Structure 1
Amino acid sequence: MGSITIRNLDDKLKASLRLRAARHGLSMEQEVRNILQSTLASESTATSGLDFAMRINQLFKGLGADDLVWPDRQSQRALPTFDPS
């Protein structure tokens, strides 16, 4: 397992982390692991195939496709016949 060191952490942020860890009954280290794990897990879910339609929607959002006028449906044309007559 790897480890990281975070330098120059704001005192208020560290205090908030300590309180959050205490509320959950965890060490600060475990709380940070949980935060990282949940954040990265939700990020990987967002890029999965399940959200593909949502990403496509965001890509084309604002192009005015919602304002397109759909043409009226027409009756089906007659099928061709292959009689030699």
Structure 2
Amino acid sequence: MSNIILEELEPELKQRLQQRAMRNGHTIEAEITSILSIVLLSDISTNSNDDLTKQIAQRFAPFGEFDIPETPREAIREAPTF
């Protein structure tokens, strides 16, 4: 594994990182690795699976805008009595 050196880390940030590591039962190094993994792996999945709404809009963009006709409904029937 590679070594990464963080210089000039704000004291409050260092303290919060230590507290989080203790809460999760990790060393500071393991906690940093965990945080980076979560952030970077979610970034990959977000980029590869763009917002579903955008994907759907792009898929149907060539058809232009259209209205979906409303389906007529019948009145609700009475509940049966046994």
Q: Scaled by the length of structure 2, what TM-score is found?
A: 0.62
Q: Rg larger in 1 or in 2?
A: 1
**What's the counterpart of residue 60 of structure 2?**
none
Number of residues of Structure 1 aligned to a counterpart in Structure 2: 61
Query: Structure 1's 69 and 7: CA in aligned 2 closer, same or farther, altered over 3 A?
Result: same
Q: How far has the Cα of 1:47 moved from its partner?
A: 1.2
Residue type matched to 1:18 in 2?
A: Q
Q: Scaled by the length of structure 1, what TM-score is found?
A: 0.60
Q: What does residue range 1-85 of structure 1 map to in structure 2 within 5 Å?
A: 1-48=1-48, 51-52=49-50, 54=51, 57=54, 70=67
Q: Deviations over 1:29-83 (max 9, x none)?
A: 10000000111000000011xx23x27729x7xxxxxxx55397xxxxxxxxxxx
Tell me which stretches of 4 or more aligned residues in structure 1 moved more than 3 Å. 68-72
Residue type matched to 1:5 in 2?
A: I
Identical-pair percentage? 30
Give, in whole Å, the separation in 2 of the partners of 1:16 and 1:56: 37
Give, in whole Å, the separation in 1 of the partners of 2:3 and 2:14: 18
Segments of structure 1 that go 5 or more residues without pairing to the other structure are 61-67, 73-85
Give, in whole Å, the separation in 2 of the partners of 1:22 and 1:2: 23
